Chains A and B, each alone.
Chain A
Amino acid sequence: QKEVEQDPGPLSVPEGAIVSLNCTYSNSAFQYFMWYRQYSRKGPELLMYTYSSGNKEDGRFTAQVDKSSKYISLFIRDSQPSDSATYLCAPKAGSYIPTFGRGTSLIVHP
């Protein structure tokens, strides 16, 4: 079993839809849970992160972590074509190097 599992998609949704992107992980030591967004042929950029369990909201984006089930989610409200990208989850333990998921490709069509 990989340390971080993420469905590669692609996930195709209409503009305005609520998108749910998910990861599962196996390492109980993970404390920080990051989401990176990567546009085609570009480097990833940090979208948001959470510490431990709970929710964190930033505009149309909500990150959610359930440590009891080792489940990480990113919700995008009112999705836009400009949200079309690959989203990578990246949990990490303390100061250690993060473990990246494979990324989920999201396509938002007008």
Chain B
Amino acid sequence: DGGITQSPKYLFRKEGQNVTLSCEQNLNHDAMYWYRQDPGQGLRLIYYSQIVNDFQKGDIAEGYSVSREKKESFPLTVTSAQKNPTAFYLCASSSTPLKLTDFYGYTFGSGTRLTVV
């Protein structure tokens, strides 16, 4: 079955450590996204990539880094510069519209819950 796999499901990080969250998709989608979800705040965009070897900052990119070396993979690194990293992280993917009137919804992974200890 096609889908998005995020791992690990739960992650604990010590203060000052970098951690990397994995996101892999087998949907042949061009675009991939990382969101952060905090209680009562909805989804906030961290980074997105519409093509391999290219990515753009979202609304809250500070303290995060990404890479897109393969179409299937879009790992997110939470660096020690991120002051409040405890959150639920969601990865998503979608096809890229060829026309403005094309519509493609997002497919989300099951998320990684990161806790700083």
Q: Which residues of A contact B (CB under 8 A)?
A: 6, 8, 32, 34, 36, 41-46, 49, 51, 88, 94-95, 97-98, 100-103
Q: Which residues of B contact A (CB under 8 A)?
A: 4, 6, 33, 35, 40-43, 45, 48, 58, 90, 92, 96-97, 99-103, 105-111, 113
Q: Please give, as numbers and ranges, the residues of chain B lying within 8 Å of A45 by CB-CB distance.
A: 108
Out of B41, B99, B105, B108, name the residue touching A102 (CB < 8 Å).
B41
Q: How many A-B residue pairs have CB under 8 A?
A: 53
Q: Please give, as numbers and ranges, the residues of chain B lying within 8 Å of A49 by CB-CB distance.
A: 103, 105
- With both beta carbons as reference points, the residue of chain B lying nearest to A34 in the complex is identified as B105
User: B43 contacts A88, CB within 8 Å?
Assistant: yes
Shortest B31–chain A CB gap in Å is: 9
Out of B42, B58, B99, B111, name the residue touching A42 (CB < 8 Å).
B111
Q: Please give, as numbers and ranges, the residues of chain B lying within 8 Å of A101 by CB-CB distance.
A: 42
Docked complex Cα distance between A105 and B84 (Å): 24
User: A8 contacts B40, CB within 8 Å?
Assistant: yes
